[in-house]
Amino acid sequence: MKVVGLTGGIGSGKTTVAHLFESLDVPIYIADIEAKLLMNNSEDIKRELIDLFGENAYLNNELNRPFIADKIFNNKDFLNKMNAIVHPKVGEHFKRWLKQQHSPYVIKEVAIIFEHKQQSQYDLIISVIANKDKRLQRVLNRDESTPEKVLAIMEHQMNDVDKAKLSDFVILNNDKTTLKNQLQKIHQSILKHIENSAI
């Protein structure tokens, strides 16, 4: 079974793309959602995050997102330490999930594959790209954030041109009218790749 990485900068619409793959009966694993669930449900992670950030890391046994976001915003040391706690647990969870799948390939959606130099973990990589203004507007419509915060996150992520160069496939997600067509072509190409590699 092949593991296809799906990545893209904040606001690129990669989760929308992931769910479209799901409509083609491709199993999808959205790392960000699974990480949030683990941060709320894993006692090991809770204990380590409280050690890192203090008792305010959780409110009523739920991750205190605004507090954590404020702590890691522009603080790379805190961000790296949090990632070192959470990412290995997500990796273990993904391996268990993968064993339960029965499909030619699965999609694992991860925001920062290239930034963390994790390309080798995937058989193929798809990048979702979109115009900066579109991405900014999507995030502002979705989250309670500010343009300054969103732009700061964009600055910390690899730009779309460099992502595209490192990817096997690129999806342009400026409007939804062409999305399904792009996906269908990529889906067929991946199936053909798998078929050829099995010969």
Residues 7-49: tens digit of each pLDDT: 999 999 999 999 999 999 999 999 999 999 999 999 999 999 9
Which pLDDT band, with edges at 50, 70 and 90, does 199 fall under? low
Residue 130 has φ and ψ, to the nearest 5°, of -160, 160
Based on the domain organization, do 154 and 112 belong to the same domain? Answer: yes
Question: Has residue 34 been placed in a domain?
Answer: no
Query: Where among 58, 78, 100 does a domain terminate?
Result: 100
Q: Which two tokens stand for residue 158?
A: 């690899």
Question: Has residue 11 been placed in a domain?
Answer: yes
Sign of CA pseudo-dihedral 8, 11, 15, 19: negative
Amino acid present at 102:
H
CA distance 135 to 139: 6
What's the domain range around 56?
Answer: 42-100
Q: Which pTM value belongs to this model?
A: 0.90
Domains: count for the chain: 2
CA distance 15 to 111: 10
Based on the domain organization, do 17 and 112 belong to the same domain? Answer: yes
Residues 67-111: tens digit of each pLDDT: 998 898 778 899 899 999 999 999 999 999 999 999 999 999 998
Based on the domain organization, do 1 and 48 belong to the same domain? Answer: no
Q: Which two tokens stand for residue 122?
A: 């995937």
